[in-house]
Amino acid sequence: MTETTTLQGCLTKMAVEPGSPARYTLRAGEARLDLNARLGQSLRLTWTGAIACTHCGRATRKSFGQGHCYPCFKTLAQCDTCIMKPELCHFFQGTCREPDWGERHCFQPHVVYLANASGLKVGITRATQVPTRWLDQGAVQALPILEVDSRQQSGFVEVLFKEQVSDRTNWRAMLKGEAEALDLAAERDRLLDALAGGLANLRERFGDDAIRLLDAPPRAFEYPVLEHPRKVVSHNFDKSPEVAGTLLGIKGQYLILDSGVINLRKFTGYEVAVEA
C-alpha cells in the first residue's frame, strides 16, 4: 500500500514523458509526485490562496497568461499576442518586447503538424517540443508534416491550413476519449494537395528551403486513464479552493478525478498543498 505523501508549492505544468502509457509528474515548487503510481487512490489539492508570478516570483492577486503577474504579462515577449498568433510577429518592425528572447525562441525551426485529440487539427510547435506538445494536448495521434525556419513562418502556414482544418481541440471530447482513429498520412496528402498553391506562394516569399516537407511516420500515444468521464465537470480553484477525489487518470494537462477534472496548467503559479 502506498504511503500518504504531503507536499506544498506553486504549481507548474505537469512533466510528461512518452511511454505505454505516458508518465506524469506533478510539480509543486521543488516537490515532485509520481502521478501514475497514484492511480486509483485518493488525491487532495488545496489552494492556499497565494499566487506567485512564475517569471519574477512576486505575489499577485490574479494570474495572467498562465502564471504571470500583470507587469510581466504586459512586458514579456512570451506573453505577447504574437505567441498565440505567430503570423502577427512584429519583430521586423523593431517593436518586439524582448528582441534577444525573440531571437532565441522564435528564430529556430518550428514544426507544423496534424494531431488527433478530439478530431483532426493542425498545430505548430518548436521542433525541440516534439513530442511534449502533443502529450500536453492529450493527442492520441500526431504527424509532423512540415518544418519551417521561424515561428512567424509557422504561423503563416497554420493560417493557410486553417482554411481546411481546425486548430482547436475540444477538451471535453478529449477527456471522454471520443477521438476515433484517423489516417493522418492520408489527411496530410489531401491537405498538401488542396493547399499546394498557398504553400507555393509562401515558398516564393520566404525561399524554397524555408518550408520543408517532412517524411516522418505517424505517432500514437497512450495515457494513464483507468476510466474516462461520461460527463465532464470542471474544478476551479478560484471558485472552490479544495479539489479532492479518487485519481482515475491523467491526460493532456488534466487530472481526471471521480469528482471532476482540473486543468493544472491553467493554475500555474497557484500555491497548493497536495495530499496523496
Co-location of 186 and 228 in the same domain: no
Residue 186 lies in a domain: yes
Would you state the cell numbers that stand for residue 19, as one nine-digit string? 511511454
Mean pLDDT, rounded, of the chain: 96
Count structural domains, the chain: 2
Co-location of 152 and 209 in the same domain: yes
Choose the final residue of a domain: 220, 249, 264: 220
Co-location of 53 and 131 in the same domain: no
Stretch 66-95: mean pLDDT = 96
Co-location of 207 and 234 in the same domain: no
Co-location of 156 and 196 in the same domain: yes
Residue 73 lies in a domain: no
Residue 104 lies in a domain: no
Stretch 58-69: mean pLDDT = 96
Choose the final residue of a domain: 193, 220, 247: 220
**Domain around 125:** 109-220
Residue 12 lies in a domain: yes
Q: Tell me how many degrees the CA angle 173-175-178 measures, rounded to the nearest 5.
A: 45
Co-location of 135 and 37 in the same domain: no
Choose the final residue of a domain: 197, 220, 243: 220
Would you state the cell numbers that stand for residue 184, as one nine-digit string? 493522418
Co-location of 58 and 13 in the same domain: yes
151-204 tens-digit pLDDT? 999 999 999 999 999 999 999 999 999 999 999 999 999 999 999 999 999 999
Residue 182 lies in a domain: yes
- 146: closest CA among 180, 82, 88, 196? 196
Residue 142 lies in a domain: yes
Query: pLDDT band at residue 2, thresholds of 50, 70 and 90?
Result: low
Co-location of 210 and 119 in the same domain: yes
Write down the pLDDT at residue 1.
45
Write down the pLDDT at residue 5.
82
> Per-residue pLDDT for 105 more than 80?
yes
Residue 271 lies in a domain: yes
Co-location of 230 and 207 in the same domain: no
Co-location of 124 and 181 in the same domain: yes
